């Protein structure tokens, strides 16, 4: 499956969750429901995937976790905030660099229309 095909499944699952739940819930609720939808769509996922920090050839477990890693290729970071900030994009891009993922999605479920809360990021 190509990155684009996986990305389409991710977005379809995200729209399904948002349509069912709407805005206003905690991030953890959206994370749990999106993980369920992605699995049902046949995608291999890792939830709250630990991301070690490499420094001078040594890896440290510093508590960084990507919300969802899909097929070992795409990072999904979920938010439930009034507005996405630059720091949210920086966080997602950093996770992408640290995992070697070329594609990432920053999804803010606290929007009236989910399409207003989607940022597709490419390295």
What is the per-residue pLDDT across 71-101, written as a single tens digit (0 to 9) for each? Answer: 999 999 999 999 999 999 999 999 999 999 9
Instruction: Answer whether 85's CB lies under 8 Å from 116's CB.
Output: no
pLDDT at 63 over 80: no
**What pTM was estimated for this model as a whole?**
0.91
Tally of domains in the chain: 1
Q: What are phi and psi of 56, to 5 degrees?
A: 50, 45
| Pairwise CA distance, residues 30 & 33, whole Å | 5
Q: What is the CATH number of the domain that holds 105?
A: 3.40.1350
Range of the domain at 48: 3-122
| Pairwise CA distance, residues 108 & 89, whole Å | 11
Tokens representing 6 are 């996986």
| Pairwise CA distance, residues 100 & 75, whole Å | 10
């Amino acid at each position: 499956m190509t990155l684009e095909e996986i990305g389409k499944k991710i977005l379809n699952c995200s729209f399904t969750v948002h349509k069912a739940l709407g805005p206003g819930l905690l991030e953890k609720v959206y994370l749990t429901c999106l993980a369920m939808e992605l699995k049902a769509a046949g995608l291999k996922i890792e939830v709250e995937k630990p991301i070690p920090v490499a420094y001078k050839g040594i890896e440290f477990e510093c508590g960084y976790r990507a919300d969802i890693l899909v097929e070992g290729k795409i990072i999904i970071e979920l938010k439930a905030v009034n507005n996405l900030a630059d720091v949210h994009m920086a966080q997602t891009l950093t996770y992408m660099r640290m995992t070697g993922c070329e594609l990432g999605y920053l999804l803010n479920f606290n929007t009236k229309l989910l399409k207003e809360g989607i940022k597709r990021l490419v390295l």
